[in-house]
Amino acid sequence: MSTLERLTARLGAALPPEAVITDPVRLRTYECDGLTYHRATPGVVVLPETAEQVAAVVRLCAEFGVPFVARGSGTGLSGGALPRTDGVLIVTSRMRRILEIDIAGRRAVVEPGVTNLAITEAVRDQGYYYAPDPSSQQICSIGGNVAENSGGAHCLKYGFTVNHVLALQVVTPDGEIVELSEQDAGYDLLGAFIGSEGTLGIATAITVRLSRAPEAVTTLLAAFTDIESGGQAVSAVIAAGVLPAAIEMMDALAIEAAEAAVHCGYPPGAGAVLVVELDGPRAEVERQFTAVERICRDTGAFEVRVAASAEERAAIWKGRKSAFAAVGRISPAYIVQDGVVPRTALPEVLAGIDRLQDEYGIRVANVFHAGDGNLHPLVLFDDSVPGEGERAEAASGRILDLCIEHGGSITGEHGVGVDKARYMPRMFTPDDLDTMQLVRCAFDPEGLSNPGKVFPTPRLCGEVPGVRKGVHPLVEAGLAEQF
């Protein structure tokens, strides 16, 4: 009997029978998250309904020395929830109760499986909303948002998950239930935990900040003949001291995909579209809108549309928000990257991506959060053509190099996961990574919580810095097949 089998036999005492999945056919449906490139069938899947059940499972993992991975809705784009074949996958999709709504305190307490959008839907009638809005907000879970420190189009003005989470109930890798609160004195473990991609434990209750709905929202769609003039418009808007809620850009190829998928009706012939959303007090929005519209026309927009109703606003956003998945309509396969560059470096980096397209003979569709320099190049390829996947992968790596060269980051919101762990040493020194490992070792000395993610070369916590195991995480995981 393997260790995992012995552990599984004990799960029955911790969980109701229908919460444990061992059937191989069912297990395989959990083999990947939103990034299908990496797959591994979990050893066992559990679907707990309470924090106590999560803690009980984690305690068993600690007892048997078995790794565990947490998963929410499985929409992550960095393989952060890639299971371990020798481990337990803890799925929070049944923990989806909204535990408390406190409008006067501008906060809500929710379970990790609650979707991002469900929070806003629960408080919208009272004039509030939950600000971070990843494109997958109708399905991505808050637990996943906490793990990845998710952003979204509107984080330009309002910040990320970490700026909107006030407290967490966390199951630590030794199975203890601990409260991390912004109110407490001491180290900001709340801030350190958010964005740690499941490597420090599992959040089982999340206290989020609710934001007052803005008095006015204006959404504007500007069409340009080329992406350079769109980029100039972005710089000019920022230089004018305007902080829009969002500035998003899509290039011709991304527009083509979105058009095919959701018929968003963007102006025909556009080489780039810019979606600018202004929100806030009506008087402020009106003034800013006049300024932004003028800037767009001055920088060469051939059409500027303003959403006159909630439906028109939704239509403009639909094209943008469905862009990733929509690329499935124009390409059999694709890799989404998530690099970030300083905004002023955008033109250079986009030109660099253009050159890479020619060099590698592949197409790249660009969708990005222009306001904060977060690129989402979609590297398109046909996986049935031998060698094309490898070329796309190589081009993706080069795009990340470009971002790092320009002082940027390899990931703005998707997380490092298993996918970009190998790029971490390009962005950080060994000392930087060792220092981050200190945090990991404080929380998870046995390295059982989502091992193989974020860090390229995991080291045992007792080891002396400088002595590394030269094993690639995928090899170390031993189990993740690459497709």
Partner 1 sequence: MDPELIKDCVHCGFCLPTCPTYVLWGEEMDSPRGRIHLMGQHVTGTPLTGEMAGHFDACLGCMACVTACPSGVRYDRLIEETRAVVEREHERTPEERAIRAMVFALFPYRRRLRMMRLPMALSRRLQPFLDRVNPSLGAMAELAPPPARPVRLPPLVRARRRRRARVGLLTGCVQGEFFPQVNAATARVLALEGCDVVIPPGQGCCGALSVHSGRPAEARRFARRTIAAFERAGVDAVVVNAAGCGSSMKEYADLLADDPAWRERAEAMRTLDLAEFLVELGPLADRHPLPISVAYHDACHLAHAQGVRSQPRALLGGIPELELREIAESAVCCGSAGTYNLFQPEPARELGDRKAERVLATGADLLVSANPGCTMQIAAAVRRAGKGEIRVAHTVEVLDASLRGLGPGTLGGAARRARGNS
Partner 2 sequence: MDGARDPRSDETTEQAGKALAASGVAVRAAGADDVVAGVPPRWVALPETAEEIAAVLRVSEEHDLAVVPVGGGTKLHWGAPPSRCDVLLDTCCLNEVVEHEAGDLVVRAQAGLTVEALAEALAAKGQELALDVPVPGTTIGGLVATAIAGPRRFRYGTVRDLLIGITVVLADGTIAHAGGKVVKNVAGYDLGKLFTGSYGTLGVVADATFRLHPLPPSRTWAAASFARPVRSGPGGDASEEASAPEAVRLAGELHAALAAAAGSQAEPVAVELDWPDVTGPATVAVLVEGAASAERADAVRALLGPEARTVGERPGWWGRLPSAPPPSRDGARAETDAGRDEEPPAGRGETLLELRASPSRVAGALAAVHVTALETGTPAAVRGSAPAGVVHVALRADAGRTARFADALRARVEAADGRLVVLSAPPEAADGLDRWGRVGALALMRRVKERFDPGGRMSPGRFVGGI
Under the binding rule (CB under 8 A), the answer on residue 92 touching partner 2 is: no
Identify each DSSP E strand in 87-196 by its residue range: 88-91, 98-102, 107-110, 128-129, 165-171, 177-181
Minimal distance, residue 324 CB to partner 1, in Å = 7
Minimal distance, residue 183 CB to partner 2, in Å = 5
| Window 304 to 323, contacts with partner 1 (CB under 8 A) | 322
Q: How many CB atoms sit inside 10 A of residue 370's CB?
A: 30
Which positions ≥6 away from 461 have C-beta within 8 Å?
437, 440, 441, 445, 446, 447
Under the binding rule (CB under 8 A), the answer on residue 388 touching partner 2 is: no
| Window 266 to 305, contacts with partner 2 (CB under 8 A) | 280-281, 283-284, 287-288
| Window 182 to 211, contacts with partner 2 (CB under 8 A) | 183-192, 194-196
Nearest to 20 by CA among 113, 91, 111, 112: 91
DSSP 214-273: PSEEEEEEEEESSHHHHHHHHHHHHHTT---SEEEEEEHHHHHHHHHHH---PPTT-SEE
User: What are the tokens at 223?
Assistant: 């069409």
Under the binding rule (CB under 8 A), the answer on residue 416 touching partner 2 is: yes
Q: Which of 34, 74, 113, 415 binds partner 2 (CB under 8 A)?
A: 415
| Inter-residue contact 123 to 55 (CB < 8 Å) | no
| Inter-residue contact 334 to 36 (CB < 8 Å) | no
| Inter-residue contact 391 to 361 (CB < 8 Å) | yes
**Pick from partner 1, partner 2, none: which does 34 bind, CB < 5 to 8 A by kind?**
partner 1
Under the binding rule (CB under 8 A), the answer on residue 20 touching partner 1 is: no
Under the binding rule (CB under 8 A), the answer on residue 414 touching partner 2 is: yes
Under the binding rule (CB under 8 A), the answer on residue 120 touching partner 1 is: no
Q: Which is nearer to partner 2, 63 or 215 (CB)?
A: 215
DSSP character at residue 423: G
Site string for partner 2, 452-481 (x = CB under 8 A): --x----------x----------------
The residue range among 2-10, 12-20, 337-345, 355-363 that interacts with partner 2, by the rule CB under 8 A, is 337-345
Chain contacts with partner 1 (rule: CB under 8 A): 21, 23, 25-26, 28-34, 36, 47, 73-75, 91, 93-94, 96, 113, 115, 117, 136, 138-140, 260-262, 322, 324-329, 332
